[in-house]
Chain A
């Protein structure tokens, strides 16, 4: 079915493109020689896109994969949310991935994807994302496009300035948006000021396996740490966080945390803090958080509770942390490809503030401080600021870059993208967005080497852009061609959930490494059957384990008797296909969970607790072959006290 749907949606997409070819409807100002917008986004049937785009799903909890410039959606990767389409979070193997210190959580709010880097350039091994609500970081393989690891972040609340990686993927960084008591305790909310903390977490990434380890947490004052970006090139070793609510208000925040004329960008010299902890610095603190790891060979996740975290008091590490005053509750905190400019987008301001890394170092060297906040030196605005972009827009939010010295900033309030020049701060072009743009993405835009051909603007409001679908509309994204001096809006496409942020890369970086099958001879699942003669059914008390294999177009076994009401039946199903894109599905009538979709060579487990006597059918849920309709079987369920031995068969 999946493939049929895909087939029909492709046809629909192509049809829509043709309809969109009418002259004069695309806003192109080009003359007769300019290629039309339709040609620029048209990817002919059988052709493939030039770029991958990974858009966060926001409150869907998942990550979506699109192609550029077509805007076609290829896949939804389940990360923090249960996903019946594949059985993620429902199958026995993947349930542990959603374990936390608060128990099993079937959902989160996924915000910011970031692709792994080597020497500041995209290397396409993994993509990291954050769960905002119950603070977590996930690592997704860009070979299998599956979630491989989820680590919970203790001492955090609203994991928002995350999941950004340093330029050699040494760390994935997770900062708290909401300050919270550390450790958590029963205390009056209005004693927030001076008592709550803002934890900035540095999670190390194993260079070979990608395995995550919460190495240390810097316990900052109780501000709200909004977004962050790594230093690169000359500023490698630093990480920059935007903050708001430096007022430390705890109520009516939309007024009370907008009182200060300036908030801060926090500059953290993590190399210095890393040295400090490597030399025994920091304080171990008792805590409790989950670390969930999925193994590609056992096809199974395991969850481990960790009980300790290393915390660092920033005032104990001189020269490691500074505040850069930045106007009006900055949201975006973006570093240009050279690593020299740190761009603060004060979201209640008209202007964009640009700080200079060189000037920052000079001011630190000269100890030109303008007081301190909780023992952390505050630099003087005039000493670190190197330029302001007088844009004429309102509500600057997020900036990315091309490789020609241009920056592109979204403006939420005035609904536009503004292109400006690094160094001269002059505005080169501006184009409207439809409507109320949040973040934008240029493939590689958060790296030393951006691919400045397309820009994707992720809009918060859709209104009239598509046929109405009731009060709720999918969000809308817009693609701009940024290869010329002026930006050109070339395409609209709907996006799933609420994309807050995105990351993109050239298709060639991932295409060749994308896994096609799991090898059956590498399957280490404890309940796998690697040949059909191992298929069997075993009873252990009221647990029944069905070791089942499947290939086009039958299950082995397909007739099972001797199951009783009150049993807990585990169907461990191994897909014996070794061909690309031939999954099989499984579901059985009355199951209190979802189907599972089993990839070639993979084993997955689905639980069924039959409550009624009868003969209950099961079947394959994914159209797999000409004989897919015949891919079915029966389980006979006898009364709880029946004297029925287990038996199973196929074709007898």
Chain B
């Protein structure tokens, strides 16, 4: 697993170099005009890649992983929301803030962009998703190669987190 991630990160480094550096904050010292390059996978042919992965609507994509199909009750279960909110706070807020883009994207409005299955698969096995799901792969690139951590969340816990996301319109 480690070896995979090392190889992967090496590839990623090469890729990042190819795409240009990070945005510099202007200071009293010297500054260089550098705009952030649009991140695009090299074998880019699909029209969907004109839109950054974080803004794409991929509701038909269920992702890769153990969650194949999931139907949501029209009514939001507040008990699950509470549990999901607590889990999100402990396991996810180091990188995901509701009110802003941080290390990773904000979960706000995610239900309008991603399918419930995709969201749960991403939480349950982010490494598999990054390897096999195009959108997850593009998100990784868009967010500077900060790989999402596997937090050993159970299916039931992931389902609660999903329910919590439903409240983040």
Q: Which residues of A contact B (CB under 8 A)?
A: 3-4, 7, 517, 520-521, 530-533, 549-554, 556, 576-582, 623, 625-627, 651
A391 to B121, CA, bound (A): 66
Tell me the bound Cα distance from A625 to B144 in angstroms.
Answer: 12
Q: Given contacts A578-B91, A582-B149, could you give 5 more A-B pairs where the C-beta distance is less than 8 Å? A: A552-B149, A578-B149, A580-B1, A627-B144, A651-B102
CB distance from B17 to the nearest CB of A (A): 12
Contact with A along B4-24 (1 / 0, CB 8 A): 011011001100000000000
Cα A3 to Cα B4 in complex, Å, equals 11
Q: Does A625 contact B147, Cβ atoms closer than 8 Å?
A: yes
Q: Among B9, B90, B147, which residue has its beta carbon within 8 angstroms of that of A530?
A: B90
- In the complex, are the beta carbons of B90 and A520 less than 8 A apart? yes
Interface status of B3 (Cβ within 8 A of chain A): yes
A625 touches B5 (CB 8 A): yes
Q: Which B residues are within 8 Å of any A CB, using their own CB?
A: 1-3, 5-6, 8-9, 12-13, 89-91, 93-95, 102-103, 144-147, 149-153
**Residues in B whose Cβ lies below 8 Å from that of A549:** 94
Nearest-neighbor residue (CB-CB) of A626 within chain B: B9
Chain A positions within 8 Å of B146 at CB level: 552-553, 625-627
- Inter-chain CA distance A626–B9, complex, in Å, is 5
Partner of A7, one of B6, B94, B95: B6
* A625 to B8 CA separation, bound complex (whole angstroms): 10
Query: Which residues does chain B contribute within 8 Å of A579, judged by CB atoms?
Result: 149-152
Residue of B nearest to A553 (CB): B146
Q: How far is B91's CA from A580's CA once the two chains are assembled, in angstroms?
A: 15
Closest 3 pairs between A and B when the two form their complex, measured CB to CB:
A626-B9, A578-B152, A578-B151
Task: Give A532's nearest chain B residue, CB to CB.
Answer: B94
Number of A-B contacts (CB under 8 A): 67
The smallest beta-carbon distance between B34 and chain A, in angstroms, is 18
* Set B2, B93, B151, B152: member contacting A532, Cβ < 8 A: B93
The residue on A at minimum CB distance from B9 is A626
Name the contact of A533 in the complex, choosing from B13, B93, B151, B153 (C-beta under 8 A). B93
Give bound CA distance, A576 to B13, whole Å.
25
Q: Which residues of B contact A651 (CB under 8 A)?
A: 102
Contacts of B91 in A (CB 8 A): 520, 576, 578
Contact call A551/B8, Cβ cutoff below 8 A: no
Contact between B90 and A533, CB atoms less than 8 A apart: no
Question: Is A576 touching B94 in the complex (CB atoms < 8 A)?
Answer: yes
B89→A531 contact, CB < 8 A: yes
Cβ contacts under 8 Å, B103 to chain A: 554
Q: Which of A7, A517, A554, A626 contacts B145 (CB 8 A)?
A: A626
Chain B, Cβ-Cβ closest to A576 = B94
**Are A533 and B149 CB-contacts (below 8 A) given A581-B2, A651-B102?**
no
Complex CA–CA separation, A627 to B146 (angstroms): 6
Whether A627 pairs with B145 at a CB distance below 8 angstroms is yes
Query: Whole-angstrom distance from the CB of B7 to the nearest CB of chain A?
Result: 10
B3: which A residues are within 8 A, CB to CB? Answer: 3, 7
Nearest to A551 among chain B residues (CB) is B94
- Give the distance to chain B from A575, nearest Cβ to Cβ, in Å: 10
A626 & B8 in contact (Cβ 8 Å cutoff): yes
Residues of A within 8 A of B8 (CB): 626
- B6 close to A581 (CB less than 8 A): no
Alpha-carbon distance between A556 and B93 when the two chains are bound, in angstroms:
11
Residue of A nearest to B140 (CB): A626
Q: How far is the CA of A258 from the CA of B6 in the complex (A)?
A: 60
Cβ contacts A to B, 8 pairs, < 8 Å: A530-B90, A531-B93, A550-B94, A553-B146, A578-B153, A579-B151, A626-B5, A627-B145
Closest Cβ of chain B to A548, distance in Å, is 11
Q: How far is the CA of A521 from the CA of B154 in the complex (A)?
A: 14
